[in-house]
Chain A
């Protein structure tokens, strides 16, 4: 049965590649990129052979970093590869244990798991100097891969089943915030002295990572090389127990998913007087306004988008506030961190049609200028994003007393958003992909193993945004280091520059979107061609 799942997954993957030239191209590009990253990981672990002191840190950071990546990246919109849709299997008489085993093995097949395995297997040449070290290293690698795959499946399955539960509407909101807060806090502050083994380390953060189950696997590898016995065994056991816990969570969530229908929102009468939500009634009553109003409604009403919204808010605020709190409040420039909260929103903007999904046909068939849709979407996300920035800036200003920097932070953020949307609009038109519905895993992409390809494209776009952000960033840095008034200048320059880049990006994406409407519909409606 397990072999059957694996074969099925492989077949779906191969069929996906063969079906369409653009997808195949993206797939191979993602393979290349993944291999490159895998080799980088492999070599950095291998180098521990020659530079053990640094290698000890590398293995911890890589192991815990990969784990965090697997846990969080799917939630940020790339999705996990849901090639094997559980709901399609629910009518078959398959016991849950077999289902979990089969799906787990199927999850190991794909670009990301293979590249992860390749990267961490660098620990074998890097650390396995003795027979004992080899045993520990191989076991740790297997456990790390298991943890990574399981955490992404458990997180996404759990969150989507939470979003679907009937009671869950309000409960899930709270839980989501809690989960997001936990992740955000643990990302910043994870320090859990589980074992009293003292090691000499430079960074308190690495220290903290070393105590997480995946990080401890890294520590175990290094400790086994140095001849330790108890610590590696404890770390391996902890990781095994963690895997077991994740399997349980995943299995329970899977069970719920297979038998529960989408709860619906009966009773949540919109209670609205029209399309335009409160606070956005100033929007124009035209195509731009209609799209913006719809987006705003969806931000809250679509469980998937609401989850994203909460994650955005929590991560954004955490990103801005924690460094300031952790690093003491003496630095007034901390207020500028508020502008940094837009980075996640920038990533979200890379697939603006994703949540529209197959319903996008309505916009296409309505005629009119589809370029206006992008403006409408940009408006809502800008209002929402700048709202978070403003909140963060006010909090930070209250903490530091540097109120004069609060408007600067908001203006810089506005410019940065303009740049991000400029790139996002173009990418959204060129490579739209549907964001999974709630029929199965809300975080699943049923693109037949295209998750990595999407991530690759998004990665390239993020890089592009980063480069375009450089002019703003350099003025800010100049202001922080040698010429204070440059900060004010940055506040003036950023919106102008961001506006200009946005306009250029919008012109380009307008041309593209007008020509590519049928292609966008096809990309978002995977069932279109049977």
Chain B
């Protein structure tokens, strides 16, 4: 079967730094695919290039066999995106934001209205539907952004850190919606560094480090009997230990008063 998402030689440099180094990846249709890696590994950059938000320096991306960069309109109608930084049109209300996104995608206004209400209800946002998004909490913003990504029933969902910095109740309702999506045959690609969520949800995992994929396969194979977090640390390498360093964070030093002199101060 054709993979839902396929990346070939995807590369991006920012100045001297190679953010993504010729990544090849196939995401099987209907899978719940986790992209894990340390901060700055290139996960978000990869997702941006796969969704047509960032032009790759080399390589390409295909959604259901359609070239993202050759046929942007065709591919974008099949995907939904939840970006990490949640830059939304926050002076719209939740309901207006959903209507806006639906109409942008050329949907029928009545369908948009029906689906919006249902999404708001399931995600627990009905109360807040007429509140400006700028006044939403972080978790509510994630949920309304997810609703926007889902309103056109995309076949592939790209989620960048969907569970970061949100409360367990919101995590639960988002997970329910995502499970519903994969159960219906949808594909989800999501990046995260919350390992236990990935372990619980994903049937496939790719570990990204320094712009390259260091391991990819079914979650159970990557884990190899350990916790995913341990497997992850083994794969990307542990950081420098603090043992014997940072002695100035000891109890003696922290007692010192470090207030700068204010009275009679002179600027240099």
List residues of chain A with CB under 8 Å of any chain B CB.
1-4, 19, 93, 95, 97-98, 101-102, 262, 264-266, 268-272, 274-275, 285-287, 289-291, 293-294, 297-298, 301-302, 356-359, 361-369, 517-519, 521-522, 525, 527-530
A362 to B101, CA, bound (A): 8
CB-CB nearest 9 A-B residue pairs:
A367-B76, A290-B103, A358-B87, A366-B104, A301-B91, A518-B55, A285-B109, A275-B99, A275-B96
Partner of A365, one of B53, B130, B260: B53
Asked if B104 and A287 sit within 8 Å, CB to CB, the answer is yes
* Chain B positions 1-48 with a Cβ under 8 Å from a chain A Cβ: 14-15, 40
Interface residues of B (CB under 8 A from A): 14-15, 40, 51-55, 72-77, 79, 81, 83, 85, 87-93, 95-96, 99-101, 103-106, 109, 130-132, 134-135, 148, 259-260, 262, 265, 267-268
The answer on a CB contact under 8 Å between A362 and B88 is: yes
Interface class of chain B by DSSP: loop
Given known A-B contacts A359-B88, A369-B73, A285 and B103 have beta carbons under 8 A apart = yes
Cβ of B39 to closest chain A Cβ, rounded Å: 10
| Given A3-B268, A359-B88, A518-B52, A366 and B96 contact (CB-CB distance below 8 Å) | no
Q: Which residues of A contact B55 (CB under 8 A)?
A: 518-519
Interface centre among B15, B87, B104, B109, by most A CB within 10 Å? Answer: B104
**A362, B99: Cβ atoms under 8 Å?**
no
Closest chain A CB from B215 CB (angstroms): 25
Given A93-B259, A362-B88, residue A275 in contact with residue B54 (CB < 8 A): no
A391–chain B nearest beta-carbon distance, Å: 25
Given contacts A2-B267, A19-B15, A517-B72, contact A368 B104 (CB under 8 A): yes
Please tell me if the beta carbons of A362 and B52 are within 8 angstroms of each other in the complex. Answer: no
Closest-CB distance, B258 to chain A (whole angstroms)? 9
* Between-chain CB contacts (< 8 Å), 17 pairs: A264-B134, A269-B131, A272-B96, A286-B103, A287-B103, A289-B103, A290-B104, A301-B92, A301-B132, A359-B89, A359-B90, A364-B53, A366-B105, A367-B74, A367-B75, A518-B55, A525-B87
C-alpha gap A4/B268 in the complex (Å): 9
Q: Which residues of A contact B77 (CB under 8 A)?
A: 367
Give complex CA distance A287, B101 in Å: 9
Partner of A521, one of B40, B54, B72, B79: B54
Alpha-carbon distance between A275 and B132 when the two chains are bound, in angstroms? 12
Assembled-state Cα–Cα distance A268/B135 (Å): 10
Chain A residues lying within 8 Å of B132, measured Cβ to Cβ, are 265, 268, 270, 301
Q: For residue B83, which residues in chain A have a CB less than 8 angstroms away from its CB?
A: 361
Complex contacts, B92 vs chain A, CB 8 Å: 275, 294, 297, 301
Distance between Cα atoms of A293 and B40 in the complex (Å): 38
Q: Smallest CB-CB separation from A524: which chain B residue?
A: B87
Complex CA distance for A268 and B103, rounded to whole angstroms: 25
Chain A's closest residue to B94 (CB) is A270
Residues of B within 8 Å of A362, CB to CB, are 88-89, 100-101, 104, 148
* Nearest A residue (CB) for B129: A270
Are B96 and A297 interface neighbours, CB within 8 A? yes
- For B40, B100, B103, B105, which residue has the most chain A Cβ atoms within 10 angstroms? B103
Across the interface, do A363 and B267 meet the contact criterion of CB distance under 8 Å?
no
